[in-house]
Structure 1
C-alpha cells in the first residue's frame, strides 16, 4: 500500500517554494493522456493484477489510479518514479500517464541512479519507496519548473546508459501505438496473464505491462526471479499464459530445467533485449511446439518504445538468426553504408508511430517537440529473399585498431560458433574480450582464436575468463564493464578438467569433428550409441538432465558445475527406463526362446521403446532433410547387419529363404512354419521407419508434426489403433506379428516421448489399457501384463534407481539388443539341451561380439555426414566484411 501517513488522495498542501527553482505559471493540463491508461475502468471486474497479497480488479485499479491522478493535481508536472513491479509504483505510473503528467522512470533498486537523475532534471514530484517499502510522493512544487511539450509522456534511459542524463523522449502516441502493435502480433486476449519477469524501468518490461493492460488482460505482478521456486508456484496458481525474457533469462531457464516444467496454461514466450544464440532460438522453438506454446523472438530499441520487429513463431526453428518482420504499423528500409559492400546490406532504418520524439540531454529539452522522423538503428542488416530481416553487425560498435576495422559483435558471434560465450568491446588501442569459464576455454586459446579471426596481433587483445559475463540490471550485456574488467589484474584461470567430454563423444560416435557446441543428436547419435553414451556420461558428470542428448557439450559441463543437494557426497545413480526396458526385454526374448523360462512380451515392449527413441533422435533436428538423413541412416544400421547375418544363417542352416534375407517375409504369402517368422521384429522396424520417412518427406506433414508434435503422434496412435483390429484384412497368418497390427505400439512410444502433461499421459495410458488386451491369441494374461507394464513405465517413469554395476550390465545388453536378437536363434540350439543357463549366456556374448564388429563395419560403410562436419576448425575462420583497412 502507499504511505498511509500521506495518502495520495489527501488535499495538496504546497511546500515552501524552493529558492533555487523557477516556478513557472502552471500550464493547463491537456485533455488527453495515454488512452489505455484512461480506459482501465471499461474492463470492469476483470482481474487486472495478481499479487502475493491478492487480486485487484480493473475497476479497483481504475479507482486507485483516478485518486492518485487527482492527488497529482490539475497542472502538468514532471514525475520521477522509482519503478518496480509493485502495485503502488504501477498505480502512480498509470495515474501520471492517464492525466498527462510526463514520467521519468528510474530503477527503484539504484539509489545512485535516482539521485543522479533527480539532480540532473529537478523533477516536480518524486515517487519512491520509503524504509517500509511503500511508495510516497515528495511533491516538490505546485507547478512545474520546466516547459513540458504537450506530447511528452515518458522519459527512459537509453539501453546501457542507466544514470546518464541522456534520455529518450516518448509521446502519448508512441506508448499507445507500440502497445497496440505488440498486442496485435502476440494475439493478446483478455484471458491472458503475463508475469512481470523484467523491471518496468526497462522498456521491454514496461511494454509487457502496457500491452496487457491495453487488452484488459491480467498481470502477475512479482519481483521474484525465475530461479525462485516461489515464482513458479505463483505463475501456476495464477494460470500464467506468458513469459518474457532477455538472453540471460533463457540461460537461467536452462539451469532450472524449464523444459521439464508442467505449465499447462502457457501460450507464448517472448524474447528480446539482445541476440539469443541461434541454437537456443531453435531449441526453444522446438520445445514450444512440443509443449504447446509459441516462441516470439523480438527486436527493438528504447528509441522505438520497445519493439520494431518480431520473428513469426513458425519461422523460428528454421530461421533462428533472423529478427523477423516489422511490427504492425512499422516499416524498415536498408540505407547503404560506405563501409559495407555486401548486397542488400546496410544500416537498418525504422519508421512508425512508435518512433521517439527525440533525445533529452537536459531539462531544457523537455520542451522540444519531434526532432526525429525515422530511427537510424545503428545496426547493419540485410533483407533476405524470404522477406525476413537479419542483423549482421553493429555500426556504432565498429572500432579501428592498428588500421583494422573490427566489429565486436561479429567477434562475439564467431566465439559463440566455437562454443564460447563472450562479450567484446574496444578502443583505439586494443580489443577487450571477456569469456565465460568452460572446460577447454582459457585465455591463450581465446586470444589465439580471436587473433586468427581478426588478423590482430596478440598484444592488441586483452582477454579475461570469468565465471559470469557482466550484465546490466536489465540483464543486457554491460560492455562498459568489459573494458574495466580487462584492465584489472588477471586472476589465475582454472586448469583444465581431468575428463575430456569431446574425446568421449569422438570415441563413442567415431567422429573427428566434435566441438564444444556439438550435441549427441547433432553428431548423428542414435538409439544404438545412446546407451553407451548416456552411461559413460553419467559416470563422468553424475545424474544427467532428461534432454542431455540435445544439449551442447559446453552446457553439460555447466550442469556439472551446478551445486548438488546439500549433504550429498556423490550423485545418485539412476538408469533410464528406456535402457532398462531394452536390457530386460532382450533377456526375456532370448530366455523364453531357449526356453529357460516363458515370459513373453519383451519384443512388443521393444517396439514401443523404438518409437520412443525415434521421436527423440530422428525428429530433434529443425531441418527436414536432416531428419530424413538420420532416418535413412537408422534404417541402414538396422537392415545391413540383419541382412548379413540372415544370409550367414541361411548358409549355415538352410532354414531361411530370399524373402528373409531382403526382410520381405511379412510382405509375401508364407506358411506358418517357425523359422521364417523369427525376424518379424526387424522387418517391422524397417517398414515403420521407411513409411515414416516417406510421410515426413511431404512438407505439409512435416510442418504439421512440427506445429503439433503430440497431436501428430496421437493421430498416428489413432491410425495404429484402427490397424490393431485389422479391419482391412491386411494381417498375415501370425496376427500378433503383423506390422499393420503392431504399429500402434510403435506409435504409442512416439507419443510417450512427446507427452508433456499429466492429461496427455493419462490419455495414452487409457489407449494402452484398451488396445493391448486381446492382441495375443488365447488372451495370454502374463504376456499382456508384460507389455502393459513396460509401456506404462516408459510413459510415467523417466528413470529407475540403479547401481554402477547394474548400469554397466544394462548398458551392454541394451546397446547390443538388436545384435543379440539377430544372432541368438543360431546359438541356443547347440547348448540348450546341455544347460539352458549356459545357452542364455552364450547368446548374450555372441550378440555383443557381433555388435562390436557390425557397428564398426557399418560406420565405415556409412561415414557420418551433416552440418557438424562442415563447421570450420579453430584458427581458420574468416568472415567477409568483418574487417576493413583504411
Structure 2
C-alpha cells in the first residue's frame, strides 16, 4: 500500500523554524534544522510503503527522532513504553508490527521485520496509544494526523505557547499527556528540554535552570514530589507556567499552587483529558484557579461538551460528560484487523459524571463506569481482578484518585497480592493498598460492593511488610555515610554530593542490603532502590570493578615499594581510574559553575591532606624539601634526590585535574563536553599522545613532568566512563592496546595496566563475597592516605618483616583515613558544607 496521506503539518514544518533550538539535553543542543535533517534521514530509511511501526518510546533524542520520522513518512506508529519489556513483548505479539524500533544494549535499533505490511492499514491511521498506561493491554486508541494537529493547535492556543518557550519533558513520551507537550511545542517552534530525570532529582533542576526552562507539566504525583523538594522556595526566573492533568489534583493544592504562581509571576493551568481525545478536552483559566479549584474548566478551543442524562444522577445540570471536537479519536483497536477501520466514533463518552456550574465551568463529580485514573494512568479494576484470579487470589478492586484498593479473601499474603495487583495495573506497588478480609463485601443483590471496598479504612491490615531493605533504612544509611541529616527517599547519591570515596563504602553497604545493584544506582532515587526484603545470606555478591581496581592497585603499589613482590603499573592504572571517576562524579548535568566548584573541591580533597602530611613528615625526617610540600617537585626539582619521585602520582593527578578544570571553565569547551561526552575525552587522549610519544622532543630540553607524559591515561579513563556503546568500548580498548605497550619497555607492567583498563571498560562488576567487598571498600576508600603514609612506615617495619610492613602500611593508612573522617565530622556543618570536597582517587 503506497503512502496516501501526509503527516501532521507540525511535523512537515520542522525545518521552517531554522536555527531555533529544538531540543536541549544535558549533552547537546539541536536546532530545528538539524532535527529536521535527522528526521528526514530516518524517514527515508523507513521508506514510503506504509508499514506498522512499533517504537519503544523514551525521553531521549533518538526516540524523539524516531517518533517524528514515523509520522513524517506516513507510517502508523504504535508507541509503547521503553522501560517495560513485558508490555513491549505483549503488544508485539498482539499486533505483529512490520518494523520494531527499540533500544538494545544502549543503542536504538531499527528492526525491519518485513519490507511491506502484512496488515491492512487505514489511510487516516497515524498513531496508536494504549488506553491503560504501561500494562501491555491490546486495547489501543486509533488517532489520525488531523487529531494530533488539532489537539496541538488547541493546547498551543490556550497556553499561549511561544517560540521562546522551553518545556521540560517531565512525563514519558508514550503517555498522551507527555506526547502532547512535545507536539504543541514543536508546533510553535519552541524548544524541548529533553530528559528522563525526575523532578525529585537535583540534576533535573540543574538542567532546567541551565536551559532557562519556562514550562513544567505534571500529574498529581509530580506535585507530591514538588512539595517534597521545596519547589515553593526555588528560584526559577524563566518559568512561565505549570500544567497539571492525569487525574484530579486536590482543590486545596490547586488553590495553593495558583496563589504561589500569582506571587512568583507564573501561571497554573489545570487541565482535563483522555487518550481518546488525543490528550486535552478542558482547561481551567488560571485566573479562576484560586476561586474555582475544584473545576476542570471549559472546553479547549474547537471542542464542546454536553451532559448525557444518567438515571443514577438525577441532579440538574449533571450527567455523563460527552466531548466532541476534531481531536476525538478514530476509534479503538483490539486486534490487527481493527487497523483497517476508519472513523467509528463521532463523540467521546468520557465515563465521568460532571456538573456544569452557573459560571459555565464544568466539574467532575463521579464515574459512570468502572475505570479509575491513578498517577495519570487509566486502570481497569476488573482487569486487575481477573489477573489476581489467575494468580490464585479472590479479590475485588476499586480505584481512588491516588491508589488502587484491593480487598482479598482466603488468607493470602498481602504483599504477594499487592505486587500482583501492581503488576497488572501498571502501577508502582506503593499505589496499591491491600486488605485481607474474612468475606468480600457484597450488596444485597450479591453483586460486589465496590463502594465498601473503596471506603475501607487505611490500616485494618498492613499492606506493606516492613523490611530491612526498605526506603527508610536506605535513607538512614545515606544520612550516616554522607553526613546528611536532610536525606529524603527521593534523593540520589550524586544529588546528595556523594563522591568517589563515599561511593566505595556506599556501594558495598548497599550490596549487603539489596544484593545486585543497577549500574546507575548512584543517580537512582533511594525509593527506587528499595526492595521488600534483604537478600538471603547465600546470595552471590558482586563488587564494582573500579573499586576492586583501586584496592588492588594500592596493595600492588605498597607491596612493590617495600618490596615484598614486584608488580609495577598500579599508579598508572590509578590514573585511568581517576579519569573514569572524574567523568562519573564531576561531569554531572549541573551548570558550568557548579561543575567547576565540584572540580575545585576534588582538587582540594587531594591537595590538603597531601600537603599536610608531607610537611609533617618532612619536618620529622628531613626527607622532603619545600617543593615536595607544595607539590611542585616535578616542576621545580630537585629531580635527583632519593625521595624526589615518591609523590609523582599525587603531583601528576593534581596537575591534570587543574588543567581539566581550566579547560572546562571555557564555555565553548563545556558545551562541547555536553554535546560530545565521548568524543571530547577521546580527542584529549589523542592530544595527550603527542607528549606520550614526545613528538616535540621535550625530553631533550630537560626534565618533563609526569603529568605531561601521562595525561592521556586520565583522558582515556574519562572516555571509558562515557563509552555507552559497544563500538565506543572497542575504540577505547583498542586505544589502550595500541598505546600502553612500549610505555616502559616492561611487557608485564604494561600488560597489568592494559588488563586492568580492559576490565574497567567491559566488566562493570566482578563476582565477590561480603568479606572481600568490605576489605576492598576499606582499602579503596583509604587509598590516598595509604599512599601518603606508607613511605614512613616501610623504613621502620620493613627491616623486621616485609610482609608485616605491608600489613602495617595498609593499617596505618586506613587508620589515618578514619581519623580524618572523624575530624571532619566535628567541624561545624555550615563550614563543612562550604569546604567539603569531592574526591576523584586514588
Whether the TM-score (by the shorter chain) exceeds 0.5 is yes
| 1:300-319 → structure 2 map (5 Å cutoff) | 307-309=183-185, 312-313=191-192, 316=195, 318-319=207-208
Q: Does 1:508 align with 2:481?
A: yes
2:553 touches 2:573 (CA, 8 Å); kept in 1? yes
User: Secondary structure of 1:801's partner?
Assistant: strand
CA gap 1:506/1:214 in 2 versus in 1, 3 angstroms: closer
Q: Does 1:815 align with 2:788?
A: no
| 1:16-415 → structure 2 map (5 Å cutoff) | 41=2, 176-177=8-9, 180=12, 187=36, 188=39, 189-191=42-44, 196=54, 212-216=70-74, 226-228=84-86, 231=89, 261-263=106-108, 307-309=183-185, 312-313=191-192, 316=195, 318-319=207-208, 323=215, 341-342=262-263, 343-345=265-267, 347=269, 356=302, 358=304
| 1:774-785 → structure 2 map (5 Å cutoff) | 774-776=742-744, 779-785=745-751
Q: Does 1:494 align with 2:464?
A: yes
1:6-27 CA deviation, whole Å, 9 max, x = no partner? xxxxxxxxxxxxxxxxxxxxxx
Count of aligned pairs: 568
Give, in angstroms, the shift of residue 848 of structure 1. 0.6
> 1: CA distance between counterparts of 2:614 and 2:81?
65
Residue number in structure 1 paired with 2:796? 830
CA gap 1:571/1:176 in 2 versus in 1, 3 angstroms: same
Give, in angstroms, the shift of residue 506 of structure 1. 1.6
> 1: CA distance between counterparts of 2:779 and 2:182?
56
1:781-825 CA deviation, whole Å, 9 max, x = no partner? 111111111111111111111112221211111111111000000
Q: Which of 796, 799, 806 is the equivalent residue of 2:762?
A: 796
Q: Does 1:557 align with 2:527?
A: no
> 1: CA distance between counterparts of 2:583 and 2:598?
12
User: Secondary structure of 2:402's partner?
Assistant: strand
User: Secondary structure of 1:41's partner?
Assistant: coil
CA gap 1:550/1:275 in 2 versus in 1, 3 angstroms: farther
> 1: CA distance between counterparts of 2:774 and 2:549?
14
CA gap 1:209/1:805 in 2 versus in 1, 3 angstroms: closer
Residue number in structure 2 paired with 1:786? 752
2:170 touches 2:178 (CA, 8 Å); kept in 1? no
2:547 touches 2:776 (CA, 8 Å); kept in 1? yes
Residue number in structure 2 paired with 1:863? 832
> 2: CA distance between counterparts of 1:238 and 1:721?
49
1:731 touches 1:740 (CA, 8 Å); kept in 2? no
User: Secondary structure of 2:530's partner?
Assistant: helix
Residue number in structure 2 paired with 1:666? 634
Residue number in structure 2 paired with 1:764? 732
Q: Does 1:853 align with 2:814?
A: no
2:558 touches 2:787 (CA, 8 Å); kept in 1? yes
User: Secondary structure of 1:675's partner?
Assistant: coil
Residue number in structure 2 paired with 1:636? 604
Q: Does 1:613 align with 2:445?
A: no
Residue number in structure 2 paired with 1:105? none
Residue number in structure 2 paired with 1:592? 560
Give, in angstroms, the shift of residue 569 of structure 1. 7.7
CA gap 1:515/1:724 in 2 versus in 1, 3 angstroms: same
CA gap 1:752/1:333 in 2 versus in 1, 3 angstroms: closer
Residue number in structure 2 paired with 1:386? none
1:690-713 CA deviation, whole Å, 9 max, x = no partner? 222222222222222122211122
Unaligned runs of 5+ in 2: 17-31, 47-51, 58-62, 112-127, 135-168, 196-203, 218-239, 244-253, 272-279, 282-299, 310-322, 329-351, 356-362, 365-373, 380-398, 406-416, 435-449, 837-842
Q: Which of 515, 519, 531 is the equivalent residue of 2:492?
A: 519
- Between structure 1 and structure 2, the one with the greater Rg is 1
User: Secondary structure of 1:619's partner?
Assistant: coil
CA gap 1:697/1:263 in 2 versus in 1, 3 angstroms: same
1:616-669 CA deviation, whole Å, 9 max, x = no partner? 111134333332222222211111111111011101211111111111122224
> 1: CA distance between counterparts of 2:474 and 2:759?
30
CA gap 1:703/1:265 in 2 versus in 1, 3 angstroms: farther
Give, in angstroms, the shift of residue 733 of structure 1. 9.5
User: Secondary structure of 1:824's partner?
Assistant: helix
| 1:641-656 → structure 2 map (5 Å cutoff) | 641-656=609-624
> 2: CA distance between counterparts of 1:473 and 1:178?
34
> 2: CA distance between counterparts of 1:733 and 1:645?
33
Residue number in structure 2 paired with 1:602? 570
Give, in angstroms, the shift of residue 528 of structure 1. 1.3
> 2: CA distance between counterparts of 1:730 and 1:608?
23
Residue number in structure 2 paired with 1:73? none
1:574 touches 1:799 (CA, 8 Å); kept in 2? yes
1:573 touches 1:803 (CA, 8 Å); kept in 2? yes
Give, in angstroms, the shift of residue 580 of structure 1. 1.1
> 2: CA distance between counterparts of 1:704 and 1:263?
23
Q: Which of 647, 669, 679 is the equivalent residue of 2:647?
A: 679
User: Secondary structure of 1:677's partner?
Assistant: coil
> 2: CA distance between counterparts of 1:710 and 1:544?
24
CA gap 1:594/1:197 in 2 versus in 1, 3 angstroms: same
> 1: CA distance between counterparts of 2:304 and 2:430?
24
CA gap 1:302/1:371 in 2 versus in 1, 3 angstroms: farther
Give, in angstroms, the shift of residue 498 of structure 1. 3.1
1:631 touches 1:693 (CA, 8 Å); kept in 2? yes
CA gap 1:312/1:596 in 2 versus in 1, 3 angstroms: same
CA gap 1:208/1:720 in 2 versus in 1, 3 angstroms: closer
CA gap 1:572/1:473 in 2 versus in 1, 3 angstroms: closer
Residue number in structure 2 paired with 1:842? 808
> 2: CA distance between counterparts of 1:550 and 1:814?
21
CA gap 1:736/1:497 in 2 versus in 1, 3 angstroms: farther
> 1: CA distance between counterparts of 2:10 and 2:131?
16
User: Secondary structure of 1:706's partner?
Assistant: helix
Residue number in structure 1 paired with 2:140? none
> 2: CA distance between counterparts of 1:301 and 1:230?
20
Unaligned runs of 5+ in 1: 1-39, 43-61, 63-97, 99-172, 200-204, 244-257, 277-292, 326-331, 364-369, 376-395, 400-406, 409-419, 426-430, 438-464, 868-886
User: Secondary structure of 1:603's partner?
Assistant: helix
> 2: CA distance between counterparts of 1:864 and 1:271?
48
2:404 touches 2:432 (CA, 8 Å); kept in 1? no
> 2: CA distance between counterparts of 1:608 and 1:233?
44
User: Secondary structure of 2:484's partner?
Assistant: coil
